[in-house]
């Protein structure tokens, strides 16, 4: 029997379990999967997990096995999640989008739960897996699709600095039980996006259109706090027509306004759960990211998260409040 958890609560390590139990646990904790034994071996596995806001982290030790996410198990109407896997021991073969990445200890890769993938663990292994919704990263689904099943080796590039951070995160899941964990985990996500962005930049052919799209997105991120930021002002700042701006963004499967809104809400959501801003009014945090109309902001936030900004904040800061009350 597994404990029922709250956000930001770390579960105790589960005992070693068999294949049937592992299938049930993973299907509930991650996404529906097909899991089978590899070769003639008998499967066994154990894991620790923590959840910080909408991010799940897993430290998993398993015998040889195969994991598949076929198209039949993917519900297109469900939210899109990404999974980042850092190999800690043994090796794994990841296949997605026509690419194959063989990960050895210290290597990292990302994959998309909205498209089929296969993970083959030919031997006993240990891995740290982080699962998070698409809305928590600044990259579009099209951009992420270009870096799925790409090996980021732990001994070169940004990965040489970043991958050890994730390894330490895995070894210290028990430290992710408080509100301050949100800042740490969101920093980890930012580091991962930096790694993916470097790879996307490397892949770019230097074409004028891709360079302009990248420049426009960076411009928007720098000006999110500007209440007057609109598709029209963005287009004017880059001397392009609104129609052309819409065309650039349509290739990523979203509108300019939707991307501006999602980026603002993502940062507001982070600030609402950050104890450093616990004494700031919700309206101040929203205004910090360009949303000064309190009623409009509240409607946007509730439509996105199903609860008011204040309720969301109370729910995620309750651990800190309880600790403060106990110390008083």
Residues of the chain with CATH 2.60.120.10: 19-203
96-110, 119-133, 161-175, 256-270: segment of lowest average pLDDT = 161-175
What is the mean pLDDT of the segment spanning 12-41? 86
- Contact in structure between 106 and 31 (CB atoms under 8 Å): no
Report the mean per-residue pLDDT for the chain. Answer: 84
Q: Locate tokens 């740490």: which residue?
A: 184
CB 84 within 8 A of CB 50: no
| 6-10, 46-50, 60-64, 95-99: least confidently modelled range | 6-10
DSSP, collapsed to helix, strand or coil, labels residue 141 as helix
Q: Is 38 a residue whose pLDDT tops 60?
A: yes
Q: What is the pLDDT of residue 328?
A: 38
pLDDT for res 135: 82
Q: What is the mean pLDDT of residues 147-173?
A: 84
Torsion of CA 215, 220, 225, 229, to 10 degrees: 130
Of the given ranges (15-19, 159-163, 303-307), which has the lowest mean pLDDT? 159-163
pLDDT at residue number 264: 92
Give the burial string for 295-325 (b: 16+ CB within 10 Å, else e).
eebbebbeebeeeebeebbeebbebbeeeee
Instruction: Say whether 60 sits in a helix, a strand or coil.
Output: strand
Rounded to whole angstroms, how far apart are CA atoms 153 and 93?
A: 14
Span 94-117, average pLDDT: 94
Task: For residues 163 and 199, give the distance between their C-alpha atoms in angstroms, rounded to a whole number.
Answer: 15
Tokens in use for 136?
Answer: 């928590």
Mean pLDDT of the 298-323 span: 78
Q: Is 291 left (phi over 0), alpha (psi -120 to 50) or beta?
A: beta
pLDDT value for 3:
34
- What pLDDT score was predicted for residue 25? 87
In this structure, are residues 129 and 87 in contact, taking their beta carbons and an 8 Å threshold?
no
Quickly state the pLDDT bin for 218 (edges 50, 70, 90): confident
- For 169-183, what is the mean pLDDT? 74
Whether residue 6 has pLDDT greater than 50: no
Judge contact between 85 and 77, C-beta under 8 A: no
Q: Are 170 and 228 in contact (CB under 8 A)?
A: no
More confident residue, 158 or 46: 46
From 137-151, 174-188, 236-250, 261-275, the region with the lowest mean pLDDT: 174-188
State which fold the 19-203 domain adopts: Jelly Rolls (2.60.120)
The pLDDT of residue 4 is above 80:
no
CA–CA distance, 169 with 185 (Å, rounded to integer): 9
Question: Phi/psi class of residue 91: alpha, beta or left (left: φ > 0; alpha: ψ in -120 to 50)?
Answer: beta
Q: Where in the chain is the domain with CATH 1.10.10.60?
A: 208-327
| pLDDT-based confidence at residue 60 (cuts at 50, 70, 90) | very high
Query: For residue 14, what are the CA distances in angstroms to 40, 181, 253, 268?
Result: 25, 22, 40, 35
* Beta strand segments in the chain, E: 34-37, 45-52, 55-62, 65-69, 81-89, 92-96, 99-103, 108-112, 117-121, 125-133
Given a cut of 90, is residue 51 above it in pLDDT?
no
pLDDT at 323 over 60: no
pLDDT at 185 over 90: no
CB of 118 closer than 8 Å to CB of 152: no
Question: What's residue 251's pLDDT?
Answer: 67
Closest CA to 132 of 177, 166, 83: 83
Q: Which fold has domain 208-327?
A: Arc Repressor Mutant, subunit A (1.10.10)
Read off φ and ψ for residue 98, nearest 5 degrees: 75, 5
Res 178: pLDDT? 61
Residue 101 has pLDDT above 90, yes or no: yes
Strands 45-52 and 117-121: unpaired
Average pLDDT of the segment spanning 13-30: 85
């Amino acid at each position: 029997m597994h404990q029922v958890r709250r956000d930001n609560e770390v579960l105790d390590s589960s005992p070693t379990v068999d294949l049937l139990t592992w299938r049930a646990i993973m299907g509930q904790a991650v996404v529906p999967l097909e899991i089978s034994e590899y070769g003639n071996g008998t499967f066994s596995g154990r894991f620790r997990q923590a959840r910080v806001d909408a991010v799940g982290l897993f430290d998993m030790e398993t015998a040889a096995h195969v994991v598949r996410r076929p198209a039949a198990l993917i519900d297109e109407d469900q939210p899109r999640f990404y999974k980042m896997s850092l190999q800690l021991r043994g090796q794994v073969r990841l296949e997605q989008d026509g690419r194959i990445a063989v990960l050895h200890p210290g290597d990292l890769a990302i994959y998309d739960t909205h498209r089929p993938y296969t993970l083959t663990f030919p031997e006993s292994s240990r891995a740290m897996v982080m699962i998070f919704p698409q809305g928590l990263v600044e990259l579009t689904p099209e951009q992420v699709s270009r870096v799925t099943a790409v090996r980021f080796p732990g001994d070169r590039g940004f990965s040489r600095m970043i991958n050890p951070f994730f390894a330490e995160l895995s070894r210290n899941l028990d430290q992710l039980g408080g509100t301050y964990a949100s800042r740490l985990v969101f920093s980890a996500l930012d580091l991962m996006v930096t790694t993916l962005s470097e790879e996307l930049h490397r892949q770019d052919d230097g074409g004028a259109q891709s360079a302009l799209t990248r420049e426009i997105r960076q411009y928007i991120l720098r000006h999110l706090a500007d209440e007057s930021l609109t598709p029209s002002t963005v287009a004017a700042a880059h001397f392009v027509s609104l129609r052309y701006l819409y065309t650039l963004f349509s290739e990523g499967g979203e509108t300019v306004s939707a991307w501006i809104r999602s980026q603002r809400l993502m940062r507001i959501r982070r600030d609402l759960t950050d104890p450093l801003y616990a004494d700031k009014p919700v309206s101040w945090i929203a205004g910090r990211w360009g949303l000064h109309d309190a009623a409009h902001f509240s409607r946007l936030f509730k439509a996105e998260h199903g609860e008011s900004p204040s309720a969301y904040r109370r729910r995620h800061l309750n651990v800190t409040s309880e600790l403060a009350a106990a110390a008083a």
